[in-house]
Amino acid sequence: MEIHYKPHGVCSKMIDVEVEGDVIKSVKFTGGCNGNTQGVAALAEGMKVQEYIKRCKDIKCGFKKTSCPAQLAEALQEALSSASM
């Protein structure tokens, strides 16, 4: 399954995710803090979707109410709601 998600409240402009079964296969952020988003993507790859959501859904970035890792969790949660993973 491919997910293309436009994040809200963060610097990144797009998150593209590939999920196979219940495992995150690849993540690519467009925009945002390059080193941080590369790190988040590298750590998420190979992780089970539910585990990623559990770990990252409430992460904040500074004074923002959300973060790029939390927005990735939101993208995955929305995909779960619309399809079975």
Report pLDDT digits (tens) over 5-40: 999 999 999 999 999 999 999 999 999 999 999 999
Report pLDDT digits (tens) over 49-78: 999 999 999 999 999 999 999 999 999 999
Give the separation between CA 53 and CA 47, rounded to whole angstroms: 10
Give the separation between CA 68 and CA 1, rounded to whole angstroms: 20
Q: How many CB atoms lie within 10 A of CB 31?
A: 14
Residue 55 phi/psi, 5-degree rounding, is -75, -30
